[in-house]
Amino acid sequence: MIPEHYTSLTPFICVAGAEHALAFYTSVFGAELVERTDNPDGSVAHAELDFGCGRLQLGEPSAQFRTAAPDPGDDTVTYSLGLYCADVDAVLARAEAAGATVREPAQTFVTGGAGLGRGTPPPAGRVVGRQPVAPARTPTRLPHAPSCARDRVGTPTRANAVARPGVSAYRHGPSRCGKRPSAKGRRMGAMSCVFCAIVAGEAPAIRIHEDDGYLAFLDIRPFSRGHTLVVPKRHSRDLTDTPPDTLAGMITLGQRIARAARVSGLHADGNNLVINDGRAAFQTVFHIHLHVVPRRDGDRLSFAKGVVLRRDPDREESGRLLREALARLDEAAHD
């Protein structure tokens, strides 16, 4: 299942000067920073931006993870990213004001549908335009992809494939994003809360523990193996509307899972227990939840890699290890 606020594709780009890129994307395109993790030197290891109907992840080059940014002296490119927006001309004007250079002006597709300009933030390059292309090569929307009046990652074309990594702005009509939920979304109810859907058994998850009041399941985008989320079954948004006894129950269950991670085949030496309270604190699913993130001694580099990759090579096995460890702890408690 696609997590709430995400589409089926979330690009990650490597940018030299990621701090400037974040400022550019937020000020020019109106993107919202939802998550940021820094390297020890303060540079951006991983950041995530919300463009309204799609997300983009970026970070600085890393020798450890073998990621490299484009050569600023090389005018050739290998990919570009597209954003649908309500006013291409205004976006290009903001880009120029922010220090970008427009190589070609916005223009109308030969299909008659959209104006276009393409660009990158000033530290990484410039704003560029697209040469006219044949109708068969003009950008098309993916079937069933929602339109968004703010911004949207667009579909690459053959012309994009030879472009410097950049951003294209596409005009389009009124937004439908969020106004016509999918059948899966309708099953989640009026709140469209993915965690409520998981609690109700209407969305898949690898469950670690369940009782009358709480559910614990593996995070679909984990920082480390065994990264578990503890949620109350009764919906509340954040710390402002969650009763103290509910929080106490979450912490109690989180402590049990943390102990299980230590004695399981995950071989954890410790755990981070974290509640992200509100958008400013990088909360992205607005059903309060506790993160239990297993850690190991000396795992700084591997943990940083997990922050970037956000995947577990064998989630089923991680879930099994935690469930079995919890069962052993429960048996020992009753002996």
Section 178-187 average pLDDT = 37
148 Cα distance to chain centroid: 17
pLDDT the model gives residue 109: 55
267 a catalytic residue: no
What are 102-157's pLDDT values in tens digits? 766 776 654 444 444 444 444 443 333 332 222 222 232 333 333 332 333 333 32
CATH number of 12-171: 3.10.180.10
Instruction: Express as a percent the part of the chain with pLDDT over 70.
Output: 72
Model confidence at 30: pLDDT above 60: yes
pLDDT the model gives residue 118: 42
Query: Strand 290-295 to strand 228-232: parallel, antiparallel, or no bridges (unpaired)?
Result: antiparallel
Query: Are 206 and 218 a contacting pair, CB within 8 Å?
Result: yes
Q: Which of 235, 289, 291, 334 is catalytic?
A: 289
User: Dihedral through CA 313, CA 42, CA 286, CA 196, nearest 10?
Assistant: 10
Q: Which sequence spans correspond to the domains of the chain?
A: 12-171, 183-334
| Among 146, 126, 128, CA closest to 53 | 146
Query: CA-to-CA distance for 296 and 224, rounded, in angstroms?
Result: 10
Give ∠ CA 180-182-186 in degrees, rounded to 5. Answer: 90
What are 206-219's pLDDT values in tens digits? 999 999 999 999 99
pLDDT the model gives residue 287: 95
pLDDT band (50, 70, 90) for residue 319: very high
Query: CA-to-CA distance for 11 and 127, rounded, in angstroms?
Result: 19
Model confidence at 165: pLDDT above 50: no
pLDDT band (50, 70, 90) for residue 253: very high
Query: CA-to-CA distance for 154 and 127, rounded, in angstroms?
Result: 16
pLDDT band (50, 70, 90) for residue 53: confident
Query: CA-to-CA distance for 201 and 27, rounded, in angstroms?
Result: 40
Section 269-281 average pLDDT = 94
Residue of 24 and 271 predicted with greater confidence: 271
The CATH class given to the 183-334 domain equals alpha beta
Query: CA-to-CA distance for 171 and 85, rounded, in angstroms?
Result: 5
Mean pLDDT of the chain: 75
Model confidence at 184: pLDDT above 50: no
Amino acid at 205: A
